[in-house]
Amino acid sequence: MALRGVLFDLGGTLVRYHPPDGDWREMEEIGGLAVRKAWAERGHKVPSEEIASQTFWERMRKLWYGIPAGEQDESGHREHLSLEHQLRELGLEWGLNLTVDDVRAGLKAYVDAVQAVATPMPGAVETLAELRDRGMRLGVISNTIWPAEHHWHDLERFGMVKYLQVALFSAQERAWKPGRVIFERALRALGLEPAEVIFVGDSLVADVYGAQRVGMRGVWIKQPYIARGLNIEPDATIEQLPELVEVVREWSNAGFTTDPTGIGGE
């Protein structure tokens, strides 16, 4: 069957959401301090910067590590998988009596602070352009607690939107990788069968395993650390996103063929 589409993860794959020399924890601490500042400016008695950054990081780490693989297939979206909910809970943890406007101000402060350090991953735009030129239908599936419009803004400002036929965000879709639902929705939106599409991401569980369980090939962007006990075998492993073009070329030569006439809308 012809290879006609590529779906991508967002954070860590197309866009880096922490400083180039930083990590996930630094990203969350930047966001947490921005929330603290926003609430202090609105008259709330907030904790020290040290306590604020530590408690915010611990909350986010617990949230992400606490999401069971595939939970969304059986039991639906959880209210806690949203930034707004996490900020309401953080306010309670800090002993604050927050209004709806306070929560919205904190959300905006967090997103603005993280977006200020976000950058496209090296070669991301060029890779999208090359694959689109080869006739691929392209899309994004992102696990995120952010409201979708903020990620759309990132895709737009980094010049990626024009290459994409679909972008699905878990907080909006109320479905989560590696659950099957969000992958199946993306495939329907592309109008393609699983065997016609590959998925590319930096997570062995959410991206590679999630894609493989619905019948897609999974390409892993190699990471320095792998959780013990994982026995997931990517169909291909790359270190930098531009290497994906060669993977697509090799698979096409081995029996997959692209369909230059199969491009959907912008």
Give per-residue pLDDT as tens, 110-131: 999 999 999 999 999 999 999 9
Do 131 and 248 share a domain, yes or no?
yes
Tokens at residue 63, please?
Answer: 């949230």
Do 149 and 243 share a domain, yes or no?
yes
- Is position 261 within any domain? no
Q: In degrees, to the nearest 5, what angle opens at C-alpha 151 toward C-alphas 149 and 153?
A: 70
Do 109 and 162 share a domain, yes or no?
no
**Does pLDDT of 258 surpass 60?**
no
Do 99 and 173 share a domain, yes or no?
no
- Is position 196 within any domain? yes
176/118 Cα distance (integer angstroms): 23
Do 31 and 162 share a domain, yes or no?
no
Of the candidates 83, 117, 151, which is a domain's last residue?
Answer: 117
pTM: 0.89
245/43 Cα distance (integer angstroms): 52
Do 238 and 142 share a domain, yes or no?
yes
Do 101 and 160 share a domain, yes or no?
no
Q: Do 33 and 55 meet the contact criterion of CB atoms below 8 Å apart?
A: no
Q: Do 133 and 257 meet the contact criterion of CB atoms below 8 Å apart?
A: no
- Is position 263 within any domain? no
pLDDT digits (tens, 9 = 90+) for 26-58: 999 999 999 999 999 999 999 999 999 999 999
Do 88 and 146 share a domain, yes or no?
no
- Is position 259 within any domain? no
Do 59 and 171 share a domain, yes or no?
no
Q: Do 207 and 109 meet the contact criterion of CB atoms below 8 Å apart?
A: no
Number of domain units in the chain: 2
Contacts 24+ apart (CB under 8 A), 226-235: 230/204, 230/205, 232/204, 232/205, 232/208, 234/204, 234/208, 235/198, 235/208
CATH number at residue 151: 3.40.50.1000
Under the banding of pLDDT at 50, 70 and 90, the label for residue 260 is very low
Of the candidates 117, 147, 166, which is a domain's last residue?
Answer: 117
- Is position 265 within any domain? no
Greater model confidence, 79 or 102: 102
Do 55 and 138 share a domain, yes or no?
no
**Could you list the residue range(s) of the whole structural domain that residue 68 is in?**
24-117
Of the candidates 117, 135, 153, which is a domain's last residue?
Answer: 117
